[in-house]
Amino acid sequence: MARDILLEMKGIVKNFPGVRALKGVDFSVARGEVHALMGENGAGKSTLIKALTGIYTKDEGTIRFDGREINPRSTLEAQKEGISTIYQELNLSPFQTVYENMFLGREPRNSFGMVDRKTMIQESLRILGELGIHVDVTKPLLSYGTAVQQMVAIARAVSVDAKLVIMDEPTSSLDTKEVEVLFGVIRKLKAKGIAVIFISHRLDEIFEICEHVTILKDGALAGEMRVADIDQLQLISYMIGGEAKQLERTKGDYELQSAPEVARMTDIQQGMRLNGIGIDIKKGEVLGLAGLLGSGRSELAKVLFGAMQPDEGEVFWMDKQVHFKSPKDSIDLGIGFCTEDRKVEGIIPHLSVKENMTIALLPQISKMGVVSSKQQNKIVEEYIDRLKIKTPSPNQAIRNLSGGNQQKVLLARWLCMNPKLVIMDEPTRGIDVGAKAEIEALIQELAGQGISVLMISSELAELERNCDRVVVMREGRNLGELCGLEINQDAIMSIIASAGGELEKGGRLQ
Amino acid sequence: MNKAGKTREDTVALLKQYSAFILLAVMLLLNLIITPNFFKVGTLWNIITQTCTIILTGMGMTVVISTGGIDISVGSVMALAAVISAKSLETVGIVPAIFLGLLAAVIPGLIAGFMIGKMRLQAMVVTLGLMMGVRGAARLVNDAKIFYIDGPHASDYTVLGSARIAGVAPVQMIPILLGIFITWFILEKTILGRHIQAVGDNRKSAMLAGISATKTLMFVYIYSSVFAGLAGIVSAAKIGAADGNTLGNLAELDAIAAVAVGGTSMSGGRAKVFGTVVGALIMQLINITVNMNNIPYEFAQIFKAIIIVFAVYIQRDKAA
């Protein structure tokens, strides 16, 4: 069956300083089609969407929409063409009423030139009703839950005559019943001939609602096919599999069966992301957490570090139960945490390399609250040397360093504390191959010294190279573990795929 | 660093960093040319006496603003500390009176710190409330009347505003230098100073590095209030009267202006203690220039406005 193409993007290239975010991507969506756009973090999904909706200007390539070439320079221009976007963080005004939100920026006027509230209310009721949503439109938007707010956003998009609606992770904060309502709305849009680009990390949802899927990887097209033609394992391997091995596994088989346990977590429940997972980490072990985006890996790390409190479940440190109220408690016991998002949760941008490195160590090199700059300088120089951090001076503001060097400073922040366990969330993301090899070598060196490492990575090859054991997660659960030589990309992917279907239905709370 | 390696960006950065100092130098030069009798020791003493309030409140404000907050209650806190210390002087003596005044200043600081640090309310709103509430309290203490410092112990108090060190330098030198030194020391040398700037620069990162943002913020608002209290006492001592109605009116704005001109970012991060001192001196120099040249005071306000906007403009952070 020939597709009636609505949107056709060809050879889209977008460069950012130092990065080629999109390397000539082709992407097309047919009329009335629900099209999944998939890919891990950094694959280029949001860059592609932003190039389409006018937030970024593409460097190369063409966009044809509804039969003619378009070059939107703002979301408003894109909207005028008939492309509407529903963001994760809804860009509606929560204190205004539902109907005001529906008509924000295009309020109808009555014959006196005043805002015509009566028409607004009637129209809102009609449009929402068509989508099967029945709410009191005169109430402020915030009096409804996320799901209804999302429906309002969608209804708004439809009412501006959208031909294409983009939904960026619309289900990430919805419960199972709300997801069903959303899917109902999507089916109604489809029936009206409106196309939907659906971005989600939940595989089951892709298979339930989407007909077509486009997969991006590292800024390039990894695959484009009908959903009916593939299964979950194939989809997963398009997303994360098939990486060229740049570096080799240095480790042999698993030898830590009898090593003492450092930390253990049991039956951890947290929000919607962790559903009764348990893990344990042994002394000197590099434990990997594998799973797709949104599988709860980072959340689990945050619970262990005390940055998030579990709703249920227990955390043990050296066989003693602990309740970390804040990261300070876990840091005191010897845990360090290199976060996934260095910019937002890692560096303190305007402070120097020296200050960033020693911020957690300060109490140990101070007398009566006064920092000994002699000791501080000594430690900073030692680690700049040991980790080969490239900085013009220890007093350079950290934001002026490259990503790899920033990461090394953050690693040094914990290493100088003589930690027992270091959690590393995507330690090599956005780092060039050279620095990557250095960081991986360092991880092995730490493990050799008896320091445990909990490593989260979306790059399966990286887990395969570095880990003694890998725990595979999906929907906040532990699906299985692989030890030593069992660890390989295919095995991890088939474990992830094995749990399709029933898990997500039962897994989500409420 | 060698000179040859400097690029144009480095020069611009350097100019930015010292913009407040350059501005001060330009204003001094200008005054040397246009203002008669400017180059006299007396002028210097005048400047010192008159900038005392701005520098003291500015020190507290520098610390608060470097956490990304603001404290607009300092003017009212000045009045409260002044009235309480002046009124209790005759009953308890000078040292306990000052202590009581400063203690009264700690209370609004504690409230602000708790609400902003613990309850995470907005600094602007919390200190706006305190600005009104504390002003009311200051007026209530003496039934909204001016309290004249008069009695057997009066000279113990007024000496704090009028004494001359070695017969020449105004006594205000002491709180100014102490205030600058303590603030600089805390910010540059102590753990607390690192925590203050880390919380202001990136609260999330700071908390994930084990820093308690709550405790840090509690400290900075108490610090700001104590300095405001001290400024209030010194001002009352100079005038010989404590007026709960007007003392410290708009002092918060001068303090914020000094911090802004001095180059501390309003969104938090790097604190510039000496920048604030220079900012305070610039503000005061404008007053003096206008004064000594018989220009109406209203022009001083306009100049100040221009200087503030100009300073913020050249220091703006394009790299963010």
Distance linking the first and last C-alpha atoms of chain A: 40
Contact residues on chain B for A350, CB-CB shorter than 8 A: 197, 201, 265, 269-270
Handedness of CA A90, A92, A98, A101 (dihedral sign): negative
pLDDT tens-digit map of A413-449: 999 999 999 999 999 887 777 788 889 989 999 999 9
Q: Do B270 and A350 touch (CB under 8 A)?
A: yes
Beta strand A335-338 pairing with A60-65? unpaired
User: Nearest Cβ partner of B204 from A344, A360, A371?
Assistant: A344
B204 shares contact with chain A (CB less than 8 Å): yes
Domain final position from A369, A389, A417: A417
A161 CB-contact burial (10 Å; exposed 0-12 / middle 13-18 / buried 19+) = exposed
Q: What per-residue confidence (pLDDT) applies to B319? A: 39
B211 shares contact with chain A (CB less than 8 Å): yes
CA-wise closest residue to A280 among A270, A291, A265: A265
CA-wise closest residue to A238 among A248, A250, A227: A227
Both A404 and A359 in one domain: the answer is yes
CA-wise closest residue to A172 among A102, A95, A101, A87: A87
Contact residues on chain B for A369, CB-CB shorter than 8 A: 190-192
Q: Do B202 and A348 touch (CB under 8 A)?
A: yes
Q: Is residue A341 part of a domain?
A: no
**Quick one: closest CA in B to A355, which residue?**
B194
Both A71 and A143 in one domain: the answer is no
* Cα(A257)–Cα(A267) distance, integer angstroms: 22
Both A378 and A437 in one domain: the answer is no
Number of CB atoms found within 10 A of residue B165's CB: 11
User: Nearest Cβ partner of A331 from B204, B210, B270?
Assistant: B210
Let me know: does A279 contact A478? Beta carbons within 8 Å: yes
Question: Minimal Cα–Cα distance from B271 to chain A, Å?
Answer: 10
Q: Is residue A474 part of a domain?
A: yes
Q: Do A339 and B208 touch (CB under 8 A)?
A: yes
Both A198 and A329 in one domain: the answer is no
A365 pLDDT higher than 60? yes
CA-wise closest residue to A456 among A376, A339, A363, A336: A339
pLDDT band at A509; cut points 50, 70, 90: very low
Q: Do B191 and A327 touch (CB under 8 A)?
A: no
Both A287 and A297 in one domain: the answer is yes
Both A402 and A423 in one domain: the answer is no
CA-wise closest residue to A39 among A228, A244, A293: A293
* Cα(B235)–Cα(B160) distance, integer angstroms: 9
DSSP string over A124-165? HHHHHHHTT----TTSBGGGS-HHHHHHHHHHHHHHTT-SEE
Both A72 and A1 in one domain: the answer is yes
Domain final position from A367, A385, A417: A417
Q: What per-residue confidence (pLDDT) applies to A13? A: 93
* Cα(A250)–Cα(A456) distance, integer angstroms: 18
Residue B113 exposure: Cα atoms within 13 Å on the Cβ side:
23
- Asked if CATH classification 1.10.15 holds for the domain at B40-315, the reply, yes or no, is no
In the chain, the amino acid numbered A300 is L
* Cα(A470)–Cα(A292) distance, integer angstroms: 14
Helix (H), strand (E) at residue B314: helix B297-315
**Quick one: closest CA in A to B190, which residue?**
A370
Q: Is residue A15 part of a domain?
A: yes
Q: Is residue A44 part of a domain?
A: yes
The first and second tokens of residue B265, run together, are 């970012």
What's the length of chain A?
Answer: 510
User: Nearest Cβ partner of B207 from A327, A362, A399?
Assistant: A327
pLDDT band at A90; cut points 50, 70, 90: low
Q: What per-residue confidence (pLDDT) applies to B82? A: 97
Helix (H), strand (E) at residue A391: none
**Quick one: closest CA in B to A341, which residue?**
B205
B210 shares contact with chain A (CB less than 8 Å): yes
DSSP string over A201-237? S-HHHHHHH-SEEEEEETTEEEEEEEGGG--HHHHHH
DSSP string over A274-336? EEEEEEEEETT-EEEEE--TTSSHHHHHHHHHTSS--SEEEEEETTEEE--SSHHHHHHHTEE
Both A52 and A8 in one domain: the answer is yes
- CB–CB contacts below 8 A, A to B: 77
pLDDT tens-digit map of A458-502: 888 889 889 999 999 998 999 999 999 899 888 998 898 887 655
Number of CB atoms found within 10 A of residue A269's CB: 17
**DSSP tag of B149:** -
Question: Minimal Cα–Cα distance from A303 to chain B, Å?
Answer: 12
The first and second tokens of residue A262, run together, are 């450092």
* Cα(B114)–Cα(B124) distance, integer angstroms: 14
Contact residues on chain B for A363, CB-CB shorter than 8 A: 191
Question: Minimal Cα–Cα distance from A39 to chain B, Å?
Answer: 27
* Cα(B115)–Cα(B129) distance, integer angstroms: 11
Q: What per-residue confidence (pLDDT) applies to A86? A: 85
User: Nearest Cβ partner of B189 from A307, A327, A371?
Assistant: A371
Q: What per-residue confidence (pLDDT) applies to B198? A: 94
Sheet holding A274-282, edge to edge: A274-282, A261-270, A312-317, A320-322
Let me know: does B265 contact B201? Beta carbons within 8 Å: no
In the chain, the amino acid numbered A130 is E
Please tell me the total count of domains within chain A. Answer: 4
Question: Minimal Cα–Cα distance from A413 to chain B, Å?
Answer: 9
CATH number at residue A330: 3.40.50.300
A403 pLDDT higher than 50? yes
Contact residues on chain A for B184, CB-CB shorter than 8 A: none
Give the best residue of B66, B194, B207 to mutate against chain A (max A CB count within 10 A): B194
Q: Do A327 and B210 touch (CB under 8 A)?
A: yes
**DSSP tag of A362:** G
pLDDT tens-digit map of A440-452: 989 999 999 999 9
- Classify the complex by whether its ipTM is higher than 0.90, answering yes or no: no
Q: What per-residue confidence (pLDDT) applies to A361? A: 94
pLDDT tens-digit map of A95-124: 899 999 888 877 888 888 888 889 999 989
Handedness of CA A234, A240, A244, A245 (dihedral sign): negative
Q: Is residue A254 part of a domain?
A: no
Q: Do B206 and A348 touch (CB under 8 A)?
A: yes
Q: Do B210 and A371 touch (CB under 8 A)?
A: no
Q: Do B201 and A355 touch (CB under 8 A)?
A: no
Cα angle, residue B306 at apex, residues B301 and B312 outer, rounded to 5°: 125
User: Nearest Cβ partner of A359 from B192, B194, B265?
Assistant: B194
The first and second tokens of residue A200, run together, are 């989600």
**pTM, whole model, 2 decimals?**
0.80
Q: Is residue A343 part of a domain?
A: no
Q: Which residues on adjacent β-strands are paired with residue B241?
A: B148
Both A399 and A424 in one domain: the answer is no
Residue A63 structural domain:
1-82+162-170+185-241
The first and second tokens of residue A11, run together, are 């050879």
Q: Is A510 helix (H, G, I), strand (E, B) or coil?
A: coil
Q: What is the b/e burial string over A305-320, where b = at least 16 CB atoms within 10 angstroms of the residue's CB?
A: bbbbebeebebebeee
Both A77 and A166 in one domain: the answer is yes
The first and second tokens of residue A176, run together, are 């199972």
Let me know: does A472 contact A464? Beta carbons within 8 Å: no
Helix (H), strand (E) at residue A267: strand A261-270
Q: Do A359 and B209 touch (CB under 8 A)?
A: yes
Q: Is residue A21 part of a domain?
A: yes
Q: A128-137, A314-323, A479-488, B116-125 — which is least confidently predicted?
A: A128-137
* Cα(A462)–Cα(A415) distance, integer angstroms: 21
Let me know: does A255 contact A282? Beta carbons within 8 Å: no
Q: Do B210 and A326 touch (CB under 8 A)?
A: yes
The first and second tokens of residue B67, run together, are 């956490």
pLDDT digit of tens for each residue in chain B (320 aa)? 444 445 676 777 777 778 888 889 998 998 888 888 888 888 889 899 999 999 999 999 999 999 999 999 999 999 999 999 999 999 999 999 999 999 999 999 999 999 999 999 999 999 999 999 999 999 999 999 999 999 899 999 999 999 999 888 999 999 999 999 999 999 999 999 999 999 999 999 999 999 999 999 999 999 999 999 999 999 999 999 999 999 999 999 999 999 999 989 888 888 999 999 999 999 999 988 898 889 998 998 898 899 888 888 877 765 33
Mark out chain A residues that contact chain B at CB-CB < 8 A. Answer: 305, 307, 326-328, 331-332, 337, 339, 344-351, 355, 359-360, 362-363, 366, 369-371, 373, 399, 413
Cα angle, residue A76 at apex, residues A157 and A209 outer, rounded to 5°: 35
Q: What per-residue confidence (pLDDT) applies to A510? A: 31
Q: Do B202 and A349 touch (CB under 8 A)?
A: yes
Q: What per-residue confidence (pLDDT) applies to A246? A: 58
Question: Minimal Cα–Cα distance from B257 to chain A, Å?
Answer: 22
Q: What per-residue confidence (pLDDT) applies to A18? A: 66
Q: What per-residue confidence (pLDDT) applies to B190? A: 95
Both A382 and A282 in one domain: the answer is no
Both A318 and A223 in one domain: the answer is no
Contact residues on chain B for A346, CB-CB shorter than 8 A: 205, 208
The first and second tokens of residue A288, run together, are 């990997």
Contact residues on chain A for B202, CB-CB shorter than 8 A: 344, 347-349
